[in-house]
Amino acid sequence: MKKQRKWLLFTVGGIVTTIAGYTVYRFSKRPANTPEKFLKSEHFSRKVVACLGDSHTQGTMAHNFVNDLAVQMGDKGYDFINAGVNGDLVYNALHRVEDVIECEPDYIIILIGTNDILARLSKSNEIHFEIKKQLPQKPTESWFIQNLRQLISLLKLHTNAKIAILSLPLISEDSDSVAFKAAVEYSKQIHAVAQETNITYLPLNERQLEYYETHRPTKQKRVVRSPFAYFIPSFKHYVLKKSWEEISQEAGLSLTIDTVHQNKMAAQMIEQLVRGFLEKEMND
């Protein structure tokens, strides 16, 4: 009997480990259109759009807006590079900006800052991000602004690209939460930096706020604080084969799948803003 129990526990443990490993592999897998892969491809006589950011851009933990834009605008002569990395703060994007510069993009779209906020929500989050992302200091709002200014400065100095930056998506669907208010405040800082550096500002946060006010959930959802909690939607998507929209609906959320990562409705807002920027630049 004891041997049978051990065998059963070993088997179950093996299955759980395999499923967990597969889920992590899928949401950690880099997109097919990374800067590295782009440099090895042929892209003659096409406009190159580099999208720089975190998991919102990488698009393996929720809806992938970069892939959508590539489909929508590919026949108009645009190639899209996905320079998004899950979990990145602005500090991390700053230290891999050379990857984007080497691609000599015509346009650069920046969407980053959510993790700068998440890293400050709890001591455990702070430790998690400091270790995983090798941060040299505790994340602060002033450090976020400093790194953002430096990132834009390097892109302007070393490329001829026209640059647009999106304000942050809403974090949580609870307007009274610290994370929700922080996303609004950081977006104001992004707007100020965009004006200061003379790049285009795309008001994603404002658009999502407007949508939230007319589609406010009956039960407000506070932000999920533990990074581990973001594993569950990925498990449902990659293992149980549920769509991101099903996962969002099951959670009772209107713009995200897990209080942070974007569902299709939210991703479409990003796409509309980026498309508008590119079409305006094309016509000018």
- Please state whether the predicted TM-score (pTM) of the whole model is above 0.85: yes
pLDDT tens string 38-88: 998 876 678 999 999 999 999 999 999 999 999 999 999 999 999 999 999
Structure tokens at 156: 């302007």
> What pLDDT is recorded for position 229?
73
Q: Is 203 left (phi over 0), alpha (psi -120 to 50) or beta?
A: beta
| Whether the predicted pLDDT of 10 surpasses 60 | no
> What pLDDT is recorded for position 271?
98
3-state secondary structure of 84: strand
Domain ranges of the chain: 33-283
Structure tokens at 48: 């190159």
Answer with the residue of higher pLDDT: 41 or 23.
Answer: 41
Q: Which superfamily, per CATH, for 33-283?
A: SGNH hydrolase (3.40.50.1110)
pLDDT tens string 164-218: 999 999 998 888 899 999 999 999 999 999 999 999 999 999 999 999 988 776 6
pLDDT tens string 117-152: 999 999 989 999 999 999 999 999 999 999 999 999
pLDDT tens string 223-240: 666 666 778 888 898 888
CA dihedral angle for residue 39, residue 44, residue 46, residue 50, rounded to 10 degrees: 10
Phi, psi of 84 (to 5 degrees): -95, 140
